[in-house]
Structure 1
């Protein structure tokens, strides 16, 4: 497959953002990138069933079940009976999970701000505007709620 210069720019952006995210995840210690993705999706959903979380992550129910077991054991997710349905379980981010997400977001923002500050001041507003448009374009595709 032949890549265009646009393709190389997009791959560079992806590698940069993934590098920032991976480094921030490493600084948290003990929480994997997959667990952070689950916490991020669950935070966006608010309260969810196991099936809703699996669907939001685009993974199987059995994979999500094992992942949630580890998140509950780590105190990052709360699993409780769903209101109005004793057979169903509701999941939500626990306070410790929210703190981890806040630290993760803070570390990523710090790294991205440092990078943005390296651009000429006159270019920063245009870059942020382009990123906002790019993010808006990703939403209908379900790609805006990643970790």
Structure 2
């Protein structure tokens, strides 16, 4: 069983633009959330981190009251972690989740949360049937994740 789920991404170039960082972080949060929902787990902790152009890094974690696998909630907390720090010349952005447990699948008492759960279930089904690129949130449309950008063993068959 997995102890954590996470994704990080090395940006094509250093950036200090918070809009760019938010888009990538949001996309990563959706990827992590989808994998967690696919595996039937929820997390109580999220860790957000960045690496700068000088190879220094910064990361912190926060714990949720209620466990989640919703990419939107993961993003919101991750951005609250990163927003107050000086995001200058960021080269890598990432987030991970931990303190995992099985998703209790107990419906929420709140209609808005029940509706979002239904939407996520429908989107997960589309993604399961047609592949991981079948839907994107509008905020992440300008973001293009390259699956593998370097490495001999990724570019060539090794026998």
Q: Shorter-chain TM-score: which interval?
A: under 0.3
* Structure showing greater Rg: 1
- TM-score, scaled relative to structure 1: 0.24
Select the structure with the greater relative contact order (CA < 8 A; seq sep ≥ 6). Answer: 2
When you count helix as a share of all residues, which structure comes out higher? 1
- TM-score, scaled relative to structure 2: 0.23
